[in-house]
Amino acid sequence: MPLVADLVARAVRVAVRFAVALAAASSLVAAAQGLPGLPSLTPAPAEPAASAPAEPSLAEWTARLDKARADHERLAGKAPDSEPLLAQRQTASARLQILLATRVEALKAAASGQTSPTADLEPTPLLAGEPPYSLLDVEVLRDHLDALTRRRVTLRQGLKSLDAAVESAVRARGSAEANLRLRREQAANAAVIGRQEEARLQLELAELVAQASELEVIQSDEQRRQARERLAALNEPIARAQAELERVRPHLRFDEAHLAQVLAQVEARRQAVVTKRTRLEEQLERTESTSPQGGALRQRAAKPFGQAIRRLRELEEIEQGQGVLWRARSEALGETLPAQRRRSAGDRLDSAEQELLEQRLQLLDDERRVRDELRAQQATVSELPRGEPTRAGEQQVLEALLAQSDAQDRLREGIERTLVLLARTRGDMAGPGAPASTSEWLQRTWTALGEGLQAVWQYEVFSATETTRIEGRTVTVEHGVTIGRSIGALLLLGFGYWAAGWLSRLLVRGIGHRVPLTPQLARVIQRWINSILLLVVLLAVLKLARIPLTAFAFLGGALAIGVGFGAQNVIKNLISGVIILFERKIRVGDIVSIGGMSGTVTTVDLRATTVRGFDGIDAIVPNSTLLENQISNWSGGSPDVRRTIAVGVAYGSDVSQAAQIILRCAQGNPDVLAQPPADVLFEDFGADSLLLRLRYWTRLDSPRGGPGVDSDLRFAIHDALKGAGISIAFPQRDVHLDVPGSLRVELTGGPAPLAPTGPAGTVISPR
């Protein structure tokens, strides 16, 4: 149990440290962005149209394009190396011109309605009439739905890339604007140092780069907007196609006439493949027998032809398998198969699908390599002049590569078509929802569990939005924080916490080898280094996990809104701790008095300082208190302190002898310092005694301490004076008891204290 409690306490401390570091980082970001209070978690309301600049019109963009073309022609007409930064300015000007031309063309297309999100969408094929419906007509509807679904997946993937492109463009624009501000300042100060021309050219280049970066942000944001509109436009057609498919699914009809029609189409495709393969075989024979360039080119051309022929033979087998699938589908829809045979057919279909998937993966790998070879060969042929003797042979190699690429495309299409047919056939089989065996049940459960975990891992907890306005256009950059990113960030933070602790200990150990440090000071330095490293780790992890600090801006806002409720004390104490650490007016090990409490400083942390009293009780003192109030530091400059003891002897005693006795007692105590020497003062003639005062110096860090030395001296003085026959006087105590009315009672006498500590009498007056 103690181990569990210790682990829990450590976890709580780690969480608190990271929360403080995160709140401090968020506050710094909020302050840097000029956020005076709590930012809203909802998007800020748009500014009034009168105050927001409008987006430039097509005529304005066209005018900017004309000006950019004129500037580019001016720069292009200059001789190379005639001016500094000429090549960079020409490149930036050309880039700006291309971006402006793209923007103008996009506006023209939008004005003509060519960029409508529904312009290229085909209408959903609806099945009219009474059921049952022909499976061939339903297949057309399914093909339409599959095309829409694939398009939606492609758009979603493209949106992720466009989001990253917009974010990158916004960052590049920020860097370009920072560079532009710097160049403007340098141009303003160039007259002082006499480099006006160079500063002007650098400013011109910075302006070109800044304008181009703004246009790239606008272009990326426009592409993202169009992609979002196209994606939103797909929702209604997909929903309509799904509803239509659900309506007609229970009423499918696939008779012998339909089967014969489909088999005829499959056979026609297979015959086309056979014809293509036969033609390639003949072409391969001609290449091997009549190649104009030796064996090397024959081999280079023969290998792609052979690969194409093998791919076409695989396609023939796939086309034949499609005929088998269509017959099985016809039997399933006709309900002529028993349940056991349908289950066996389903198992065979699963095995066939696995084999086709493996073939497809291998095909895609080969296809990438063939595409690269084809592009390289096309470049080689285009570079050869027409009269070159080797051009005819290289052209044959190019034709062979084209044939291989075409065969692979045909095979890929055939595999995809067969996979779709497999999936649809399995769906048409009887009892698709009931697992046929334990292994199938486990497989389905595992698949569902994996999909669920993936959905949870990719679930977006919250998102942060950054907005910027460019040319009257509001551009937003959204940062989503998913559960997966959060878990990864926590794991990285855990590793960073361990690394920060290890590195802080290593640094303090290295400092201790060069500079003498007390254990308390070393512990304080290690904590400060560890806290700084934790803040660096936090920022680095958020950067690696692509979690922006603005996602936690509400923490900085909450910290800012809490200024009037005490949160300012946290920052005040934090800054006070930094001041105390660097000024070193109060250090670990010093003995201080704060507000009537005295003790030794044990730690100086981020927010508070711990003072351990002489009674062993720790007091947590805010750092700001040490700076704002008067603090007595007994050991600030030296650990030596002067203390006094008052002694009252009776009237008639030998005062000089008493003073010598008291002084010898002080000199005989090992905790009393010889320098400065102790002395005895005749302080006053008291009412009942002659007052002597011993002053001596001792060290605060002595084993006995100040109160212990005082006690030892009082014992020694008492015994020494008693042995010398000198009595220690004690004053009379008079107690007056006032009773309401005319009665007054006075009690006189009683023992007196060893030294006068107060008035001669005490009056007690009841109310």
- The whole-angstrom separation of Cα 587 and Cα 728 is 43
Quote the strand ranges of 241-308, DSSP E: 252-253
- The whole-angstrom separation of Cα 470 and Cα 212 is 12
| Residue 411 CA: distances (Å) to CA of 270, 315, 504, 756 | 12, 5, 61, 114
Q: List, run by run, the mean pLDDT of 10-residue segments along the chain (767 residues).
A: 47 50 48 39 41 74 90 86 84 90 87 73 82 85 90 89 88 90 85 74 90 90 89 90 86 83 89 90 76 63 85 85 80 58 54 60 65 81 78 82 86 81 70 55 79 80 71 72 80 88 88 79 80 86 70 57 63 78 76 80 80 82 81 73 85 86 86 85 84 85 75 87 81 39 37 38 34
State phi, psi for 608 to the nearest 5 degrees: -140, 165
| Beta bridge pairs of residue 763 | 736
Sheet holding 734-738, edge to edge: 744-748, 734-738, 761-764
User: Which pLDDT does position 744 carry in this prediction?
Assistant: 38
Q: Which CATH class is domain 571-633?
A: mainly beta
- The whole-angstrom separation of Cα 693 and Cα 237 is 104
Helix (H, G, I), strand (E, B) or coil at 479: strand
Query: Residue 199: which residues within 8 A CB-CB, separation 6 or more?
Result: 183, 186, 187, 190
User: Which pLDDT does position 213 carry in this prediction?
Assistant: 92
Question: Per CATH, which fold does 640-723 belong to?
Answer: Alpha-Beta Plaits (3.30.70)
Spell out the domain ranges in the chain. Answer: 2-41+480-565, 254-384+392-430, 571-633, 640-723, 734-764
Is omega for the bond preceding 676 within 30 degrees of 0, making it cis? yes
- The whole-angstrom separation of Cα 11 and Cα 490 is 13
208: closest CA among 58, 82, 100? 100
- The whole-angstrom separation of Cα 137 and Cα 124 is 12
Q: Within a 10 A sphere around the Cβ of 429, how many other Cβ atoms? A: 19
- What's CA 13's distance to the chain center, in Å? 21
The C-alpha torsion from 596 through 600 and 603 to 608, rounded to 10°, is: 0
Q: How far apart are the first and last CA of the chain?
A: 58
Taking each helix axis from N to C end, the angle separating 483-514 and 438-457, rounded to the nearest 10 degrees, works out to 60
Residue matched to tokens 């289950």: 343
Q: Within a 10 A sphere around the Cβ of 646, how many other Cβ atoms? A: 17
State phi, psi for 677 to the nearest 5 degrees: -75, 150
Written as six digits, the tokens of 225 are 């907007």
Query: pTM for the complete prediction?
Result: 0.58
Q: Is 640-723 the same fold as 571-633?
A: no
| Residue 412 CA: distances (Å) to CA of 326, 350, 366, 406, 409 | 20, 19, 11, 10, 5
SS (H, E, C) 75-101: HHCCCCCCCCCHHHHHHHHHHHHHHHH
Give the H or E element holding residue 454.
Answer: helix 438-457
Burial 120-148 (b: 16+ CB within 10 A, else e): ebeebeebeeeeebbbebbbebbebbeeb
